[in-house]
Chain A
């Protein structure tokens, strides 16, 4: 039944969406901005795809497109994680 790889991928996608809903509904409103910037960093996962296409593309245009994708997604990954950390560092409890 699961021989079609696209179908397997769809299964994984849908299940991951459900996991995402479960985990993220538990994030309190006070952390919604760091959640968004952190999620942003995670969406920079496209970097893996960018690396793959940059290395396999033979023509110059395909390679240039892939390399551009590498640059953009790395900005996303590094910037996203760093800025999220910067924000979360500021969250402090009342000192007792």
Chain B
């Protein structure tokens, strides 16, 4: 009787926790309520953890408590110390840890059941264990490679070699074969071999993907980490894990879809296309014979200071130059002169979905001044001045005009339709995709060469002097 009561309490508490997760995610629908949404979700997590610890022998809990303390300390420290520019790396690491934890849960179950002669391993249990292991381990090793690329501790360009796809396919089929064998006759050596093969598969899946495609990869791995949690839920028959894992799986999938759409690519093309690899043939357009017009900070200040409306287009280069605060100051200076200022944010402006918005929020740019692709689209033809800082491919009109360009069809910010465009750039170098930018040679475009931070500082001084 008492056993049933505990089950009921735990089940009911899980239902409350799952509801809090959903309500919390819903409150992320607006920046005004988002913080409370995150709080709600964390309360849900607390409830779920506390009831899981209920009805256990306190003595047994000592090890678990120590483990949780270590994890909480490490997680809390990381979360507080991390720079906002490094957020993609942190999320990659967290994705990997989540996947790794789910795989460890599956492995522990496999070890327990296969190690005890008195226990049978029914087919449905072993299938879920194998699935949990596969997804969890691939998420772990794939995320670690993604982290390495983002942190630039390993080679960021796509790494390709002959027969790579064939090797991945053979490896995957081998894993499936080994899993089928394990379901028929569970054994530790074969299981260990599957784990190693899955580690290798995760690496092989991420190394051919280039730096520019990282937003897609992180989104996808985010989805995997949810699926890994759900599969651990199937292993243990735990509804809470299944529901929460499904929610995260869905979130990651939606973000993946948004990112691939913003790049006009298919998921398959991102995963296996090795976009931006050295052997890629670049577009026929070369810089030869074309002249980019240069502009001085003084002239830029006059142009901007006396216009009615300005749109800023920040790209990741802004964050690399650490010039967010200078850009924000420019915005404030122009507004004090009566210029209307908007920020146009392309979905792939940062290294992960929404990254640029966080970086600008950190520089205290109010979120109601940030506009996404759809919202700002119709503003460009009327905008008197556009300032492009550290963005390149997302403002390249070739995506609209040149069917031969590798980025043709990609949704871009049509800055070239504005009256004047000032592009802040170090040099005429190509962007991530390695494509020359027609924008730089347009009639209405002027280049302000130099480091973005220094150029913006000079520009701000000139505007103050107007």
Contact = CB atoms under 8 A, between A and B. Distances in A.
Chain A bound to chain B: yes
Interface in B218-234: 218-219, 222, 225-226, 228-230, 232-234
Contacts of B74: 71, 75, 79
B48 A45 contact: yes
A25 B226 CA distance: 17
Contact of A13 (B246, B353, B354, B368): B246
Contact of B366 (A12, A43, A80, A94): A94
A57 B350 CA distance: 44
Given A12-B239, A39-B247, A82-B75, A24 B109 contact: no
A51 B64 contact: yes
Interface string A36-70: 11111111111111111111111101110111111
Given A50-B105, A66-B105, A30 B98 contact: no
A24 B254 contact: yes
Interface of B: 18, 21-22, 24-26, 28-32, 34-35, 37-39, 41-42, 45, 48-49, 52-53, 56, 60-61, 63-64, 67-68, 70-72, 74-76, 78-80, 82, 84, 87, 90-91, 94-95, 97-98, 100-102, 104-105, 107-109, 111-112, 115-116, 124, 128, 218-219, 222, 225-226, 228-230, 232-255, 258, 345, 347, 350, 352-355, 357-358, 361-362, 364, 366-370, 372
A43 B248 contact: yes
Contacts of A31: 28-29, 31, 34, 354, 357
A63 B60 CA distance: 11
A71 B54 CA distance: 19
Nearest to B349: A29
Contacts of A88: 31, 34-35, 38
A75 B71 contact: yes
Contacts of B100: 69, 72
Most buried by A among B45, B74, B362, B366: B45
Contact of B124 (A6, A38, A39, A45): A6
Contacts of A74: 67-68, 70-72, 75
29 contacts: A5-B237, A16-B18, A20-B249, A23-B29, A24-B251, A30-B31, A30-B370, A34-B38, A34-B358, A35-B354, A37-B87, A37-B94, A39-B25, A42-B248, A43-B225, A43-B244, A43-B248, A49-B236, A50-B105, A53-B105, A54-B67, A56-B112, A61-B115, A74-B72, A76-B71, A77-B45, A79-B94, A80-B79, A82-B76
Contacts, number: 373
A37 to B, nearest CB: 6
Contact of A72 (B25, B97, B115, B241): B97
B104 A50 contact: yes
Contacts of A42: 21, 25, 41, 45, 226, 244, 247-248
B348 to A, nearest CB: 11
Contacts of A87: 84, 87, 358, 361
A94 B237 contact: no
A76 B358 contact: no
A33 B354 contact: yes
B26 A28 contact: no
A47 B102 CA distance: 9
A91 B36 CA distance: 13
Nearest to B70: A71
B367 A19 contact: no
A41 B362 contact: no
Interface residues of A, number: 83
Contacts of A59: 111-112, 115
Nearest to A66: B108
B129 to A, nearest CB: 11
Given A62-B111, A94-B368, A78 B71 contact: yes
B230 A13 contact: yes
A46 B107 CA distance: 13
Contacts of A39: 25, 222, 226, 247-248, 251-252
Given A13-B230, A65-B108, A70 B67 contact: yes
